[in-house]
Amino acid sequence: MSEEEPAGGNARGRVIIAWVVAPMVVFAFFPTILFLVIGMAPFIVAFIVDKRPGKVTARAIGYLNLAGCLPYAIKLWTGQNTITGVLSLVGEPSALMIMYSSAAVGWMLNFIMTPIMTAYLAVQHEAKARSIGNRQEELIKEWGADVKGQATVQPHEAPEQAPTEVVPDEEAQEVSDLDDEAENG
C-alpha cells in the first residue's frame, strides 16, 4: 500500500498535467507548440521509433533538432508570434531544411559512433584480457594451481548470470532478446 500511494500520486499528477496544464500551455503558447511540432518532426518520429530504454538515439537527434529550430523559434517569438507567423516560417524551404538537417546530423552521429565504439571496445577488451591473463599468471606462479580453487569450474556456468552484473536490469531483457535473436539466426 505504501508503495502504491506515491505511484498513485504520480499518476494523478500526470493526469492533471495531461488534462489541465498541457491544454492550458498549448492554448497559451499555441504558435510555439505548433512550430516545434512541425520543426521537430524528425525527433518525434525518432522518439516513437526508438525502443531503447532512455531513448538515447532519439535524444541525440532531438538535441541537434532543437538547436536547428532554436533560431527560428527566437525569430517567431521576436516577430509575428501567431499561427500565420508559424506558417510563414515553415513555408521557407531553407528553414525546414536547416531544422531537419540538424536532426539528420544527430542520425549521422548515431551511425558513426557505433563502428567507432566497436573498434574502441575491441582494443579495450584485448587490453583487459591481457591484464587479466597476466594477473592470473602471476598468481599461479606465486601460489601454484591451487590458487584457482573453485574458480576453475565457473566459466561454463557463468555467462547466463553475467548480464545482471554487466548491464542494468532494464537492459537485461534486451540483452536476452538479442541472445535469442542470435540463436534464431
Partner 1 sequence: MALNLAGSNEDENSASGSVTLKGRFTIDLGGAIPAYDVVPCIAYNASVNADRGKAVMALICDPMLPLRADKIMPIRSLETPMLLKPHDWGVIDWASEGRRCPVVVVDKPNGDRVMPSLDAKIRPIHEDTVARLLIRPGGEFLEILANNNLTHRAIRPDNIFYSAADQSRMVLGDCVSAPPAIAQPTVFETIESGMALPAGRGDGSSLNDLYSLGVTILTLLIGHVPMAGLTDEQVIEEKLIHGSYNALVGRERLSLTMMEVLRGLLHDDPKERWTVSDLMYWSNGRRQNPKSQAISRKASRPFVFDGVEYHTTRELANGFANNWDAAVTPIKDGSLNVWLRRGFSDEELIESVNVAMTDSSAVDRSDDWIVSRVCIALDPQAPIRYRELRATVEGLGALIGSYLNDENMRDLFSKVLREQLPAFWQRNQRRLTEAEEKFVNDYERARSNVDRIGLGLGIERVAYDLNPNLPCRSPIFENDYVVEVAGMLPALEYIAVSTGELKELVDRNGAAFLASKMARQVTGDLRDLDNKVDPHVSLIAAVKILATIQDRVSKHDFVDLSGVIASMLEPSIKRFHSRSIRKRARDGLKKATRNGRLSRLVDAVNDPRDVAADTNAFQQAVAVYSRTVMEDQRLEYEKTHRDYFAREMGAQMSSTVSGFITCVATVLIVIVMMFFS
Site residues (vs partner 1, CB under 8 A): 52, 56-57, 59-61, 63-64, 66-67, 70-71, 74-75, 78, 105-106, 109-110, 112-118, 120-122, 125, 128-129, 132, 135-136, 139-144, 146-152, 154-155, 158-159, 162-163, 165-166, 171, 175, 178-179
Q: Distance between CA atoms of 40 and 88, rounded to whole angstroms?
A: 16
Nearer to partner 1, 16 or 132 (CB): 132
Q: Enumerate residues 6+ apart whose C-beta is below 8 A from 175.
A: 163, 167
CB of 7 to partner 1, least distance (A): 28
Q: Which is nearer to partner 1, 70 or 97 (CB)?
A: 70
Q: Which is nearer to partner 1, 10 or 134 (CB)?
A: 134
Contact 89/72 with Cβ under 8 angstroms?
yes
- Least separation, in Å, of the C-beta of 34 and partner 1? 21
Q: 3-state class of 40 per DSSP?
A: coil
**181: Cα separation from own chain's centroid:** 21
Contact 47, 55 (CB under 8 A): yes
